[in-house]
Chain A
Amino acid sequence: MRAGGGDWPSWMRGQAQRAHQPQLQAFYQTFSLTAEQPISETPLVALDLETSGLDPARSAILSIGLIPFDLQRIHLGERRAWVLRPPSGFSGESIPYHHITHSDTQEAPDFADVLPELLDCLAGHLAVVHYHPIERAFLGRAVQQRFKEPLRFPLIDTMDLEARRYRRGWRTRMRAIFGQTPVSIRLGDSRSRYHLPLYEGHQAALDALATAELLQAQIQHHYSPSTAIGQLWI
């Protein structure tokens, strides 16, 4: 999973040389984050995708939401959100979750149309997601399909940060010994541990906001503004 073995700066530098597609090339070239820099001095962007299913091979991205933020403030006014037209339609089974319907997507742009803007928003920022396999797999595959080359960049996963705390180490073993179920690290349950309010889930922009709030809370509770981003990104 850990492309670049955690050494994201060198992996990104390598990608800048390997990439053919000019937009992707530019995205990798503008990468300037170092593993040592403190999280408080790192521009962040919360990212959330809603998809038509969980299998990237058979499902498509239906919407993307992202919100730039830092440890002090989440800039809701600068959020971006797109509904996308899936390349080959989508089955209706996920509609109850994200409420995006077929008619919403009919007039919507294709992923390729929004990619330049998406890359623009991500450039210079460290992306923050909750449960990174979805974002990484779906974005990677969508780019692969259209440009025949991958897209991959470092991420902070707020679920991973919760898992480090609640799913690994002695706490989990103790809970297992006493027959307790593991602590839920889903977005809503994680948020409630930090006394964050209940938001309606499965809407890309709102989930991105929820994720950004969760990271602010996690840093304040378990890390510090000076924590190096190399400790957090995956």
Chain B
Amino acid sequence: MTATKDTPVPAGATPPAPAHVGAARKRGSGWFSERLMPYLLILPALAAVLVLLGWPTIQMLGISLRQLDLRELVTGKMVWIGFKNYTDVLSDPEFWAVALRTVLFTGALVAGTLLVALLIAVLMRHLNPVLRIFVQVSLVLAWAVPVIATTTVFQWIFDQQYGILNKTLDKLGFHSFIGYSWFSTGTSTLVVIGLLVLWQAVPFVAFTLYAGLIGVPREQYEAAGIDGAGPWQTFRAVSWPAIRPILTMVTFLSMLWDFNMFAQVWAIRQGGPDGASTTLAIMQYLKGIAGSHFGSAAAIATIMLVLLLLVTGRYVQLLVRTKDGEIA
């Protein structure tokens, strides 16, 4: 049944009820089109996904088993080399360093995004209306400013010579920050990128969680208060269950976005200094488009896909089930 939390199960279905909400089947007339209709309707989407995403994915798997450099690309020669690309990539110590960095970076970003967004969502519930609008407008603005523009602003704020951060630190008496480079090490570059991503990603997650929180009936909070629950217990017992499915969804999406993120990392320092802020997405790009080793780039991409599948598999399961109403 696709009974949702707020829609009553459609009454009036004559028993034995069909195992679906739709298709009030009139026997005979239109039965054939009734059977065929869903397939006709999903056909464009299915075709688009299979041709534009599925086929390239299969091709990517194929390319990862070939030697494909510029020469092969131009001559169109097929050189199958089996798993050599994979063994090359996996035996490269640099790959492991980058993979570990990417996983840690993604983990920190997802956790940071969810935590900050959750705090802001709860805060919004307790603010007076005027301040709440103020916070919401500031979040919407942060969200609406396009990624490349935001990235540019962050570069400007952290600029070595003229950035407001160094100017301010100098003003406050920390004169050693005159001309300090925030991009001199990989770690500090990644921290700047992390702040940038947080600033960009938090608004969406905060709004989504906030919308989930205001969906909780007030009586539930009052009841918890009457039962003598403290703020923390109330949150655990009332708010948490309400936002859990939303958290599943935004965790899943954040993982995808952060793990595969390219534009921000690339724009800040192209993975520098000396590759110290290179993530898998950047490495893949450098190998492929920039270095014309399309075979090993495809191998890296495939490994990325497998990693992501392993990490998010559980979420995919949960999401399909929740969506189908098997878990209320």
A and B pair up: no
